[in-house]
Amino acid sequence: MVTTADSVRILVPVGMLGAGFPPETVDRGLALGADVIAVDGGSTDSGPYYLGAGTAKTARAAVARDLRLLLRAAATAGIPLVVGSCGTSGTDAGVDWVAGITREILTEEGLQLRLATIYSSQQAADLDLDRIRPLPPAGDLDRATLESCTNIVGMMGHEPIAAALTAGADVVLAGRATDTAVAAAYPLLKGMPAGPVWHAAKIVECGGQCTTNPRAGGVLATVDPTGFTIEPLDASNACTPTSVAAHMLYETVNPFSMREPAGTIEVGDAIYRALDERRVRVEGSRFAPAAQHTIKLEGARITGYETMSFTAIRDPHILGQIDTWTALLRKMIIEWVSGTIGLAEGDYSFDIRRYGYDAVLGDLDPATGPPREVGVMLLVHAADQATATAVAKVANPLMLHLPTPDLDYLPSLAFATSPAETERGPVYEFALNHVVEVSSPTSLFRVCLEDNR
């Protein structure tokens, strides 16, 4: 049974399950009186592949290592463990993957913890287009786009997690959730005010990133009726007003406000104050409830197949004319592909990325001198894998021996791998940047409570 409290202590060991953390920092969090352990299990940071394919970016062994430590801690302290966005993207397959690991550990460790899974995958046919609206810069959504997605998830707020906890779950494994909802659910359930809860949840979402040494481990946030206090779990680490306030700049459009499914976090009037050399007190945060509860939809679809080739240039003569060489390479690939396998430019596409020169910043790169060496990545995109690979193979001699126009010999460049062509398989893109209006915060999500005690 959930009862109200004077304060709630949230232990966040790391920014993402599977990223690793020092075990002793979790022990310290328990010693400080943690009431709940909350950790995010994924995000869209690594692109659309993991959502589209329904697979995790983290290694199973790494997730199992972190889960084992956290399940032991939760059992020892008698406190709940909440994991959000399981399996990176929060698909049903991702939830089942983490749940499978969790069940194995519970059995191996002899732990009697009741498990709840929350599923957030959506079927295109079940979504009402009339209740979906775009987020900038997306346009209106059509049924064909919805149906083209290999996976669609709804991003839950705290309510489904709170429902699982209320039903008696000791461990909650949630599908796609806002990073903040994972940490906010338990303190909101215990009666803490929304303003401090949501602000604290935002600050601790990435564990130690709000500290002066993010590699040292996670943090503990104590929320009470007037604000929250945050401190690192590593005794040698520190939070400062700057390090804490700065996290509102992370992944937000506006550092003074951030939208959640149920409303908006408002921190423009928040005051950040150092209690000592390690701890920071924050007061003045507010939460403005929305007139209409909305759930963000994330979906990914296959755009084709990709083959990659990578060569390296050390020749100073070519590097002194790298733009000329690249333009020639592009021109020659188009001509050779047309002449050898008869493909027009519309039948495929390719991208040339020059690492060590401008692959990261492009035209924004301030460097003016010739680079010492450049790695040239060729990415070929086509409707099928065989075509993408065929184009990359046609480009192979050019990637190895193409001279600049003024050279009277063929240089030898250096492929990074043998074979030079690496088939990357299906390539995905995000197809949805929309929200759906819902009548209930839990209507799109399915909570399953297991009787495994």
Mean pLDDT of the 245-270 span: 96
Angle between helices 23-31 and 60-77 (to 10 degrees): 20
Q: Assess whether pLDDT exceeds 80 at residue 217.
A: yes
Does the pLDDT of residue 102 top 80, yes or no?
Answer: yes
What is the pLDDT at residue 366?
80
Rounded-to-integer distance, Cα 413 and Cα 420, Å: 12
Give residue-wise pLDDT tens across range 297-336: 999 999 999 999 999 999 999 999 999 999 999 999 999 9
| pLDDT given for residue 365 in this prediction | 83
- Tokens of residue 330, six digits: 């592009």
pLDDT in tens, 15-53: 999 999 999 999 999 999 999 999 999 989 889 999 999
Q: Is the pLDDT of residue 339 over 60?
A: yes
Convert the pLDDT of each residue in 116-153 to its tens digit: 999 999 999 999 999 999 999 999 999 999 999 999 99
Confidence of residue 453 (pLDDT cuts 50, 70, 90): low
> Looking at this protein, which amino acid is placed at residue 293?
H
By the 8 A CB rule, do 204 and 186 touch? no
User: Does residue 2 carry a pLDDT above 70?
Assistant: no
Mean pLDDT computed over 101-108 = 98
- Relative to beta strand 257-260, strand 151-155 is unpaired
1 pLDDT tier (thresholds 50, 70, 90):
very low
Q: pLDDT at position 370, please?
A: 82
Segment 406-424 shows an average pLDDT of 95
pLDDT of residue 298: 97
Give the count of beta carbons closer than 10 Å to the beta carbon of residue 93: 18
CA angle, 254 then 269 then 178, to 5°: 45
pLDDT over 70, % of the chain: 99
Q: What is the pLDDT of residue 415?
A: 96
pLDDT score for 451 = 79
Residue 363 pLDDT: 85
- The pLDDT mean for the chain works out to 96
CA distances from 411 to 332, 376, 414 (A): 16, 15, 10
Give the model's confidence band at 435: pLDDT under 50 very low, under 70 low, under 90 confident, else very high: very high
pLDDT tens digits for range 373-414 = 999 999 999 999 999 999 999 999 999 999 999 999 999 999
Average pLDDT over residues 189-194: 98
